[in-house]
A and B are shown apart, each in its own frame.
Chain A
Amino acid sequence: MNLSVLRPGPWPLIALAVSLLVVVPLATVVFASLGDAQGSWAHLAQTRLGTYTRNTLTLAAAVCAATAVIGTATAWVVTTCQFPGRRLFAWALLLPLTVPAYLAAYAYTDLLEPGGQLDAALRAQTGWSTLDLPPARSLAGAAFVLSITLYPYVYLAARASFAEQSGAAIEVSRTLGRGPWASFFRVALPMARPSIAAGAALVLMETLGDFGAVEHCAVDTFATGVFHAWRSLESATTAARLATVLITFVAFAVLLEGITRRRARFYQLGTRLPPVRRTTLRPAAAVAAIVGCALPVAMGFALPVAAFARLAWSAVESHAVQIAIEAGLRSASVAAVAAAIAVVLALAVRFARRFAPGPATATPAAACRLGYAIPGTVVGLGLLIPLAAMDRGFNGLTLWAFDWRPGLILTGTAAAVVIGYQTRFLAVATALLDGAFKRLRPSLDEAARTLGSSRLEMIRRVHLPLLRGSVAAAALLVFVDVVKELPATLMLRPFNFDTLAVRVYQLAGDERLPEASAAALVIIAIGVIPVATLSRLTQPSSARTKSLQPQ
C-alpha cells in the first residue's frame, strides 16, 4: 500500500489546475459553437462545408494509407535484413520528422512551380516541363507532402514491434512450415498491426490538425476553415462550429490510438525473446533495399533541405540570414521558457498521480495527454476568447480598485502564446515522464519515507535525480515542437513576436521563399537534435543484440 494514499493533500487540486490548460480551450470552442452564427454558418454550409469534409477525409485516408505502407515496409527491411548502410538508414529514416510538413510544402511547390528553376532546367535539358507532373498545389500534393514527412511515426512504432516480437514469431512460424514471405504476412504483420495502427493514429492527428501545408497546397480542410472563418467571415460562432467538427474527428483518432495501444499490450510474446536474426540480402535485393530506404529519406529530408540550402545560397545577400537570426533568437527564448514551464507542470501532474492515486488525479492527467491532438487553430480560437475575457475582467478590477489599467497582460504579451504551447505540448512532456515514473518503484518512496525524508525532500533527493534524463528529454522535445508550431502562434502572438515558423509562413505566402530559406533551415536543424536522441532511446535492436550475445 502506498503511504501517500492516506493524505491526498493539495495534489488533486494541482492536477486539476494544470488540466484546465487543455480543458478550457476545448470547452470554450464547444460552448461558443452553440451561439448564433448570424447566417454565416448557413452560407458556409451551402458553399464550403462539403469541400472541407471531402478534403479532410480524403486527405486523412490517403496519408494514413501511404504512411502505413512506407513506415511498415522500411521498418521491416531495416529490422530483419542485413545490407550495406542498414545502420545508417535505421537512423536516417527518422530524419523527415525534422521537416515540418509546411516546410516540405513550401520546398516542393517552389521546386515544381511552372516557370520555376527546375521547370526551366527541365525544359532546357529534356523538353519536359514540371507541367507534365501532377501539380504540387493540390490534394495529391498535400497528401504527398504530409505522407513523406509523417511516415516516421509509423516507422518508429512498426520498428519497435518488429524488433521486439518478430524474431521469435518468425522462427516459430518457420519451424511450423511457413516460408519467409508467408511468415511476414501471416505472423509478423498481424502482430505488429496494433503498433502500426497506433502510429497511423498519430499521423491521423497530425494530418487533421495540419494548417501550414494544406493551406499552401490550396486544399481547404477543417483546420484551415477554422482559421478563415475566424478571420474573414467575422463570426466566432462559425469558427467554433467548424472547430467542434474537427475536434470530433480528432476524438476518433485519439480513441483509435487508445484502443490499439491497449491491444498492442496483449500482442506481446513472452519475455525472453531472442533478438531478430537478420537475413543477409543478395546483391540485387540489397540494392533494392538501399533504394527503397533512401527514397523516403531523400524525398522527406534531403530534397527539401537541399532546396532551402540552394535558395539560401541564392539569397545570401538579402536579409535571409538576418531574418533567421532575429526570429531564431525569439523562437529559442520562447521555446526555452515554454519547455521549462511544460516540464514543471508535467512533473506536478505526475507527482500528483503518484502521491494521490485515484480518479481525482488520473482524470486530469488523462486530459493533459489530449492536448497534443488538438489542432493548433482550435487551440488558438479556444484560448483567445477566454484570455481576452480575463484581460478585460482584470483591467476592470484594477480600474475599480486602483483607478489604473495594466493593459493586456495575457493577450498583449507572450503569455498567450506560452499558454497555447502548454495546451498543445504538455502532453509531450507528460508522455515522456510517464515512462520514467513507471520505472520508479513505489518501494523507493516507502524506503525514503521510512528513512525519515519529508515528501519534498524525497522529491528533491530521490525522484528528481533519477528523473533527470527524462526531464531533459521532455524539455528538449517540447522545445523543438514549439519551434515548429505555426497556427496557434499565428493566432496568439503579441507585438514584435514573429517566430521562425511565423516568419517563414509570411514570407512563403508572399512568394519570397529565398528570404525565408535560412530560417527554414534553422527550424530543421533544431529538429535534428532530438531525432538523434530519440533514435537512441527507441532503438532496441542494436542494444539488445549486444546484451543478448551468445550464451
Chain B
Amino acid sequence: MPAVDRPSTHPRPQSTPQPPASEPVVCVRDAAFAYPGGHSLLDGLSLDLYAGAVTTVIGPSGSGKTTLLRVIAGLERLERGTVEIAGRAMNDRRQHTPPERRGVGYLFQDHALFPHMTALKNIAFGVRGRRRVERLALAKHWLDDVGLAEFADAMPHTLSGGQQQRVALARALASEPRVVLLDEPFSSLDPEMRDQLCPQTFETLRSVGVATLIVTHMPIIAKHAGGPVFEINHGQASRAKIG
C-alpha cells in the first residue's frame, strides 16, 4: 500500500511555519480535570508533543487517557493548568478556544465517520477555504494515500473496520492539523489487521510531520509507535519503558 509515496501536491501544514524541533507543538502543563461529581482524572499532568514524533500514553481504562485527548482537543475545559498549541495558550480562566480553532485532528475509537456522507465527502468535510472542486481533489489524494481510491463513493456502513479507520485517518489529516490525537486506535480490529495497519498508519503520520499523541491500553501499540512512551497514573504522566 503506497502509504509513503505521496504526490508532490500533497498538502502539508505549511500555512503555519513549523516550530523548530526543539520547540514542542503541544505543551500541557499542570492539567487538572474532574467530571462533576466524579473523582479527579487529571491531576497536575504535564506533557510535551513534538512535530514528527509519535508519543504514546498507556494506562488502564478509567485512568484518564481519553480525557487527556479531549482536553487537548478542547472538548473539555480544564480546571487548572494550561494547554498551548504552537505557542499559543488555548485556555485560561476566562477564555476557552473551541475545538474548531485549535488545529487538532482527532481519531475517535469508533472512527465516527459521518454515516450520511460517502468516504470522499467525509474526508472533504475537514478541508477548508478552497473551492469545492479543489476540496474534493485534495480529499481524493488523501483517499489514494490510504489506499482506498476505489471506495470514494462508498457509504461508511459498507466499509470494513480497517477501511473505516483509514478513512478516519485521512479525514483527520486532510484538515491540516498541527497535532493528531488517536484514541485507542486499532482496538476494534482483529490482531492480524492491527499488525498490518499499525505500521502503515505511523509511517503516514511521521511522514506528514505532524505531532501525534496516541492513548492506548495495549503496550504492543506503543512498541509499533516507536516514540516516547508515558504511563498515566493518578492523573499524572511519567516516562515509561516498554520492554
Q: Are B114 and A191 touching (Cβ within 8 A)?
A: yes
Known: A175-B106, A177-B100. A551 touches B112 (CB 8 A): no
Residue of A nearest to B66 (CB): A551
Q: Are A174 and B116 touching (Cβ within 8 A)?
A: no
Any chain B CB within 8 A of the CB of A173? yes
Q: How far is the CB of B20 from chain A (nearest CB, A)?
A: 26
Quick one: which of A144-191 are within 8 Å of B by CB?
165, 168-169, 171-180, 186-187, 190-191
Quick one: which of B43-65 are within 8 Å of A by CB?
61-62, 64
Q: Are A269 and B112 touching (Cβ within 8 A)?
A: yes
A19-33 contact mask (Cβ, 8 Å, vs B): 1 or 0 = 000000000000000
Most interface-central of A174, A179, A187 (chain B CB within 10 A): A174
Q: Are B41 and A175 touching (Cβ within 8 A)?
A: no
Residue of B nearest to A177 (CB): B100
Q: Are A551 and B100 touching (Cβ within 8 A)?
A: no
Known: A179-B100, A187-B114, A268-B115. A173 touches B125 (CB 8 A): yes
Any chain B CB within 8 A of the CB of A272? yes
Most interface-central of B37, B66, B100, B172 (chain A CB within 10 A): B100
Known: A176-B126, A177-B126. A270 touches B112 (CB 8 A): yes
Q: Give the size category of B's interface with A.
A: 35 or more
Q: Are A168 and B100 touching (Cβ within 8 A)?
A: no
Any chain B CB within 8 A of the CB of A266? yes
A270 to B156, CA, bound (A): 10
Known: A175-B105, A266-B155. A272 touches B110 (CB 8 A): yes
Most interface-central of B101, B110, B155 (chain A CB within 10 A): B110
A506 to B125, CA, bound (A): 58
A176 to B73, CA, bound (A): 10
**Contact residues in A for B112 (Cβ distance below 8 Å):** 168-169, 171-172, 269-270
Residue of B nearest to A179 (CB): B100
Q: Are B99 and A174 touching (Cβ within 8 A)?
A: yes
Q: Are A191 and B115 touching (Cβ within 8 A)?
A: yes
Q: How far is the CB of A135 from chain B (nearest CB, A)?
A: 42
Return the contact of A269 from the options B37, B61, B104, B115 (Cβ within 8 A): B115
A92 to B67, CA, bound (A): 34
A172 to B73, CA, bound (A): 10
Any chain B CB within 8 A of the CB of A273? yes
Q: How far is the CB of B1 from chain A (nearest CB, A)?
A: 24
Any chain A CB within 8 A of the CB of B151? no
Quick one: which of B69-122 are within 8 Å of A by CB?
73-75, 98-102, 104-106, 108-117
A178 to B102, CA, bound (A): 11
Residue of A nearest to B98 (CB): A174
Any chain B CB within 8 A of the CB of A267? yes
Q: Are B116 and A270 touching (Cβ within 8 A)?
A: no
Residue of B nearest to A183 (CB): B100
**Contact residues in B for A165 (Cβ distance below 8 Å):** 115
A193 to B39, CA, bound (A): 38
Any chain B CB within 8 A of the CB of A549? yes
Residue of B nearest to A165 (CB): B115
Q: Are A273 and B110 touching (Cβ within 8 A)?
A: yes
Any chain B CB within 8 A of the CB of A271? yes
Any chain A CB within 8 A of the CB of B216? no
Any chain B CB within 8 A of the CB of A550? yes
Return the contact of A267 from the options B34, B115, B125 (Cβ within 8 A): B115
A278 to B112, CA, bound (A): 19
Known: A267-B116, A272-B110, A551-B62. A175 touches B100 (CB 8 A): yes
Known: A178-B100, A550-B35, A551-B62. A172 touches B109 (CB 8 A): no
Q: Give the size category of A's interface with B.
A: 20 to 34
Q: Are B35 and A174 touching (Cβ within 8 A)?
A: no
Residue of B nearest to A271 (CB): B110
Residue of A nearest to B39 (CB): A550
Q: How far is the CB of B155 from chain A (nearest CB, A)?
A: 7
Residue of A nearest to B115 (CB): A267
Q: Are B114 and A168 touching (Cβ within 8 A)?
A: no
Any chain A CB within 8 A of the CB of B191? no
Q: Are B108 and A266 touching (Cβ within 8 A)?
A: no
A268 to B157, CA, bound (A): 9
Quick one: which of B132-189 are within 8 Å of A by CB?
155, 157, 171-172, 175, 188
Most interface-central of B74, B108, B117, B172 (chain A CB within 10 A): B108
**Contact residues in B for A187 (Cβ distance below 8 Å):** 114
**Contact residues in B for A174 (Cβ distance below 8 Å):** 74-75, 98-100
Return the contact of A550 from the options B38, B105, B126, B188 (Cβ within 8 A): B38
A271 to B41, CA, bound (A): 24
Q: Are A175 and B73 touching (Cβ within 8 A)?
A: yes
Q: Are B116 and A190 touching (Cβ within 8 A)?
A: yes
Quick one: which of B21-41 are within 8 Å of A by CB?
34-35, 37-39, 41
A174 to B64, CA, bound (A): 21
Known: A171-B75, A174-B99. A551 touches B105 (CB 8 A): no
Known: A177-B128, A179-B98. A269 touches B110 (CB 8 A): yes
A250-290 contact mask (Cβ, 8 Å, vs B): 1 or 0 = 00000000000000001111111100010000000000000
A411 to B157, CA, bound (A): 53
Q: How far is the CB of B159 from chain A (nearest CB, A)?
A: 12
Return the contact of A551 from the options B61, B113, B115, B125 (Cβ within 8 A): B61
Q: How far is the CB of A167 from chain B (nearest CB, A)?
A: 10
**Contact residues in B for A551 (Cβ distance below 8 Å):** 41, 61-62, 64, 66-67
Q: Are B128 and A172 touching (Cβ within 8 A)?
A: no
A270 to B125, CA, bound (A): 19
A310 to B199, CA, bound (A): 74
Residue of A nearest to B126 (CB): A176
**Contact residues in A for B75 (Cβ distance below 8 Å):** 171, 174-175, 277
Q: Are A176 and B171 touching (Cβ within 8 A)?
A: yes
Return the contact of A549 from the options B35, B105, B117 (Cβ within 8 A): B35
Most interface-central of A168, A171, A179, A273 (chain B CB within 10 A): A171
Return the contact of A191 from the options B41, B102, B108, B116 (Cβ within 8 A): B116
Residue of B nearest to A549 (CB): B38
Residue of A nearest to B65 (CB): A551
**Contact residues in A for B74 (Cβ distance below 8 Å):** 174
**Contact residues in A for B98 (Cβ distance below 8 Å):** 174, 179-180
A536 to B201, CA, bound (A): 44
The 9 closest A-B pairs by CB, nearest first: A270-B110, A176-B126, A550-B35, A550-B38, A174-B99, A175-B106, A551-B62, A267-B115, A266-B157
6 contacts between A and B (CB under 8 A): A172-B114, A173-B125, A175-B104, A176-B171, A269-B112, A551-B67
Q: Besides A174-B99, A271-B110, A550-B41, 14 other CB < 8 A contacts?
A: A168-B108, A171-B108, A176-B171, A176-B172, A177-B100, A177-B128, A178-B100, A186-B125, A193-B116, A266-B115, A549-B37, A550-B39, A551-B61, A551-B66
